[in-house]
Structure 1
Amino acid sequence: MDTNKALEAFAALSQATRLNTFRVLVRHEPEGLPAGEIARLLDVPHNTMSTHLGVLSRAGLVVSRRQSRSIIYRVSLNHMRETLGFLVRDCCAGRPELCEPLLEDLKPCCPPSKETVS
């Protein structure tokens, strides 16, 4: 990821409604949510939510797909992984033991169960 793409992602997330939208979508992975449901959950007018989703989409942070008459939005976890990787690429000047607390914090709160691990 280059600096401009990272800046675009950070700029998109630097507004409260967009950050909250992203966090709501993370909680609803992998199913995603229709735009209207996101607007309802965040108590945001539909047309305003559409604008915010457009910004997140152009920044590569969300993806959408049509399902019947709805558009379902999901987080682009790959893009977020690239963005986080951009931030910590040179972590601790090659001394990974110094970055261990950071890496521990990035572990998911809900690790996969033994049944889903292949």
Structure 2
Amino acid sequence: MDEREALASFAALSQETRLATVRTLVVAGPEGLAAGAIAERMSVSPSNVSFHLKELDRAGLISQRRESRSIVYSANYDTLADLVTFLMEDCCAGHSGIRGSVERSMGCCPSET
């Protein structure tokens, strides 16, 4: 991810409804949610959520697909991972004590045993 793409992602995420929408879609998993279900969960109007979904899609943070009469949205995990990597690219640059903090914070997906 280059700086321009990172800035577009951060701009899209810098609004409360959009950030909450991305977090909701991350939790929903790869199967995603229909736009109406997102609006319901977010307690916003369908037209409001459509506006925000368009901005998130334009930034590449979410993907959409048609299923019958619905448009289903899902988090674009590759782009989100690229954004985190962009932030952490220079991590620990000569400061080995930082590594433990970063590793502890990256525990979102427990390893399968």
TM-score range, shorter chain: over 0.9
The one-letter amino acid of 1:85's match is: T
Once the 2 structures are TM-superposed, how far is the Cα of residue 31 of structure 1 from its aligned partner? 1.4
Q: How many percent identity over aligned positions?
A: 44
Q: Give the equivalent residue in structure 2 for 1:58.
A: 58
The gaps in structure 1 that reach 5 residues or longer are none
The one-letter amino acid of 2:24's match is: V
The one-letter amino acid of 1:23's match is: R
Deviations 1:63-92 (A, max 9, x none): 011000011100011101100101110112
TM-score by length of 2: 0.93
Matches within 5 A, 1:1-118: 1-108=1-108, 110-114=109-113
How many equivalent pairs are there? 113
The one-letter amino acid of 2:82's match is: E
Looking at structure 1, the residues matched to 37 and 45 of structure 2 have their Cα atoms a distance apart, in angstroms, of 11
- 3-state SS of 1:92 partner: coil
Looking at structure 1, the residues matched to 94 and 63 of structure 2 have their Cα atoms a distance apart, in angstroms, of 34
